[in-house]
Amino acid sequence: MTAATARTRRRWWQRPPQRPDTSHQLQLGHHRATPYLFSLPSIILVAAVLGFPVLYGVWQSLYDRERLVSDPEFVGFANYIEMFQADTFWQSMGRTAIFVFGSLVVGTVLGLFFAFALFRVVEGLRFLRAVTVAPYIISNVAAAVMFRILFNSQFGLVNQFLGWFGIDGPSWLADPNMAMLVVIFTQVWTDLPLSILLLLGGLMTIDQSYLDASLVDGASGWTRARYITIPLLVPQLLISTVWLSYSTLTGLGVVLALTGGGPLRATQTLAMEMYTVAFRNLEFNQALAIATFILILNAVLTLAYVAIGRRYDYER
Amino acid sequence: MTDRIVPDDPPLSVPTAKATRAVTGTPPEPPRTAGSRLRRALRTALLSLPLVALVVWTLAPFLVTLSVSFKHRAEVFADPGLIPSSPNFEAYREVLTSDSFTSSFLNSVIIGFGTTVLTLLIGVPAAYAFARFNFRGRHLLLLFTLLPRLVPSLGLMVPIYRLAVALGALDNRLTLIVVYTGMLLPLAVWLMVGFFQQIPKEIEEAANVDGASLWGRLRYIVAPLAAPAMITIGVLAFREAWNEFTLVLVLTTTPGKRTLPFELYLMQGIEGIANFPAEAAFTILTVLPFVLVYTRVEKYVVAGLISGSGK
């Protein structure tokens, strides 16, 4: 950014534009094949495991087969048209919208709250950070089992807690309205460590003089957070949003292990729908159309977040 | 992307936020009265309330699971307290003697270490080449290595399953090791390139003058200096292999071939009535080994977690 502006406004007495930085490269002679020998295994493996299967999947979504054993035929966009005409697809779109939006709201609010809390910590940050990161090191399935116990309608801690206030807690995972809430909280619980650390890192880089100036002007804590700190956190909030959205949109583990899409398809997200179509109905080409749609939706959403984030980024 | 990650000028004179706060933000000590002391205590309590919330939010699921794992099946409903009235190891004995746990634990350990070793073996030389050598196609090849990081494992489920069926590679530990390594490599290369660029090249050039070969430089100079980054990658690779669920779900089909998360998932549906203590004990035993490692390498996990956000 600065280099580009410097180049356009350069005068003759100023330094010439800088060449690409190669100062980390060795100036020693080496065999011409060495760098390729070093890097090719990695490139080949990444292409074989990630690149090729995805492209193969997109390509195969244009094919279909009559029966499981017959040869695939090219059908163009027929799988996609069929997908858009299915009621189940639009149902799961609706559930996904609630899931992604709910996780974004809960995740951002909790992430900001905990990041602000950690920012004030003077001692013991190491311990608290270790606690914060704990959900990151366990699998989605383990998290699902834990939340199933936590939200159990008969002995779960949540309903016991509500019982102290005389509230008869709902049977969370059997209730179509409540199940989604539990899924959202579980998903956020597994994804929150990264958001908290990102936002905490952002808070630590904020120039303290802004806040000092506002203190002189007599701004209250809430005003400072609302008008100074949070606007300055936009880059970190953007990364956190992209991450939460990606993780919920493409996340299967938590939903599958917690509810399996139930009760009454209340938590049947797009990812679950893809899994069901592929591995329960064995319509693989149909499932590939859904998977491709999820990939495109994810890209579109990410671009939208970046566009919105740019508008509010004060330092740009 | 391949430019130096360290800034050109070391930020020696830039005051950190904390240092600035220490200089400008400390108010003069107010005179101490009983009232102000009470107010201070109250203020401290209020300020630490969010931290208590953070600890409860994170640890409550662990604690309730731990609690249930020490109860009998019948006790779970009769004695819902957090501290079991008569703690016992019945559930642990049940899980530890079951085939599903022992076989999947062994698989997870083998696949975890296999993925760690393979990721380092393939990723470190590649990152070194990208960081240190100038060669034709460097940027394009680096892009080919890093860009696939955007692919979610959800998009891989069906294609990788179909390919594994076609290649006869289902129910194979090696398949899982290779797949997990491939998923980890973009992150590993990204991390290591940045790290290698920070090691002064002059050290290596001096060693070259002294007659060290490329292998000698890698072995005695680069590897010891890069140890922290290599530990980070090793931990991340092990974590991925230990916790991954969506791909092992489709790549294994028979008992005895699965990893811990898959067996834990199956456990929930096998019996008509959920066996909560056994599920809880299985969860704790799945989580425990990594938690024990984690307390030693927490710093590296955090480093890897933050760097992984460059999606």
Q: What would the pLDDT profile of A259-285 be if each residue is shown by its tens digit?
A: 988 788 999 999 999 999 999 988 899
A20 inside domain: no
Q: Provide, as residue numbers in chain A, all residues whose Cβ is less than 8 Å from the Cβ of B178.
A: 45, 49
Å between A213 CA and nearest CA of chain B: 11
The predicted model scores a pTM of 0.85
Among B64, B149, B154, the residue with its CB nearest the CB of A294 is: B154
Tally of domains in chain A: 1
Cβ pair A54:B155 closer than 8 A: yes
Report the pLDDT averaged over residues A226-230. 84
Is the pLDDT at B1 greater than 60, yes or no? no
Å between B224 CA and nearest CA of chain A: 18
What are the Cα distances from residue A97, in Å, to A91, A249, B241? 10, 9, 30
pLDDT 10s digits, A21-41: 667 777 666 788 888 999 999
* Spatial separation of the C-alpha atoms in residues A29 and A46, rounded to whole Å: 29
* Spatial separation of the C-alpha atoms in residues B265 and A82, rounded to whole Å: 32
pLDDT class of B180 with cuts at 50, 70, 90 = very high
Please check whether residue B308 touches A, CB under 8 A: yes
Say if CB B189 and CB B197 are below 8 A apart. Answer: no
Chain B: residue whose CA lies nearest to A27: B205
Token code pair at residue A80: 């996609």
Place of tokens 């073996």: B121
Q: Provide, as residue numbers in chain A, all residues whose Cβ is less than 8 Å from the Cβ of B184.
A: none
Say if CB A159 and CB A142 are below 8 A apart. Answer: no
Interface of B with A in 24-53 (CB under 8 A): 24-25, 47, 50-51, 53
Grouping H, G, I as helix, E, B as strand and the rest as coil, residue A121 is coil
Predicted complex ipTM: 0.86
Is the pLDDT at B310 greater than 60, yes or no? no
pLDDT class of A238 with cuts at 50, 70, 90 = very high
A195 inside domain: yes
Cβ pair A137:B301 closer than 8 A: yes
pLDDT 10s digits, B195-237: 888 888 888 888 888 888 888 888 888 888 888 889 889 988 9
Cβ pair B302:A34 closer than 8 A: no
Å between A267 CA and nearest CA of chain B: 17
Q: How many A-B residue pairs are in contact by the CB < 8 A criterion? A: 300
A138 inside domain: yes
State percent of chain B over pLDDT 70: 85
* Per-residue pLDDT at A91: 94
* Per-residue pLDDT at B40: 83
Interface of B with A in 237-296 (CB under 8 A): 239, 242-246, 249-250, 260-262, 264-265, 268, 276, 279-280, 282-283, 286-287, 290-291, 294-295
Domain span including residue A163: 86-312
pLDDT 10s digits, A115-129: 988 988 777 788 888
Token code pair at residue A109: 């609010």
Token code pair at residue A39: 């890097």
* Per-residue pLDDT at A27: 67
Chain B: residue whose CA lies nearest to A122: B18
Return the higher-pLDDT residue of B148 and A107: A107
Report the pLDDT averaged over residues A134-147. 92
CATH of the domain at A231: 1.10.3720.10
Å between A11 CA and nearest CA of chain B: 23
Is the pLDDT at B21 greater than 80, yes or no? no
Token code pair at residue A126: 């190491």
A17 inside domain: no
Residues 6+ apart with CB under 8 A from B302: A129, A133, A197
Q: Provide, as residue numbers in chain B, all residues whose Cβ is less than 8 Å from the Cβ of A204.
A: 17-18
Is the pLDDT at B272 greater than 60, yes or no? no
Interface of B with A in 98-157 (CB under 8 A): 122-123, 125-126, 128-135, 138, 141, 144-145, 148-149, 151-157
Is the pLDDT at B308 greater than 80, yes or no? no
- Which of B200-235 are b and which e, b meaning 16 or more Cβ less than 10 Å from the residue's Cβ? ebeebeebbeeebebeebbeebbeebbeebbbbbbb
Interface test with B, best of A19, A25, A27, A42 (most B CBs within 10 A): A42
Interface of A with B in 271-300 (CB under 8 A): 271, 274-275, 278-279, 284, 287-288, 291-292, 294-295, 298
* Per-residue pLDDT at A275: 95
- Angle subtended by helix axes B153-167 and A284-312, to nearest 10: 150
pLDDT 10s digits, B80-101: 788 888 888 989 999 999 989 9
Cβ pair B246:A150 closer than 8 A: no
A151 inside domain: yes
Å between B170 CA and nearest CA of chain A: 15
Look up residue A64 and give its DSSP letter.
E
Say if CB B142 and CB B194 are below 8 A apart. Answer: no
Average pLDDT over chain B reads 83
Is the pLDDT at B298 greater than 80, yes or no? no
Chain A: residue whose CA lies nearest to B253: A279
Please check whether residue B4 touches A, CB under 8 A: yes
Report the pLDDT averaged over residues B44-67. 89
Q: Provide, as residue numbers in chain B, all residues whose Cβ is less than 8 Å from the Cβ of A212.
A: 24-25
Say if CB A173 and CB A182 are below 8 A apart. Answer: yes
- Domains of chain B, with CATH numbers? 94-307 (1.10.3720.10)
Å between B116 CA and nearest CA of chain A: 14
pLDDT class of B11 with cuts at 50, 70, 90 = very low
Before B31, cis peptide (omega within 30)? no
* Per-residue pLDDT at A260: 87
State percent of chain B over pLDDT 90: 40
* Spatial separation of the C-alpha atoms in residues A233 and A246, rounded to whole Å: 20
* Per-residue pLDDT at B55: 92
Q: Provide, as residue numbers in chain A, all residues whose Cβ is less than 8 Å from the Cβ of B101.
A: none
Q: Provide, as residue numbers in chain A, all residues whose Cβ is less than 8 Å from the Cβ of B265.
A: 141, 256-257
Return the higher-pLDDT residue of B69 and B2: B69
Give residue A292's identity as a one-letter amino acid code: T
Return the higher-pLDDT residue of A146 and A311: A146
A263 inside domain: yes
Compute the residue count for chain B. 311
* Per-residue pLDDT at A154: 84
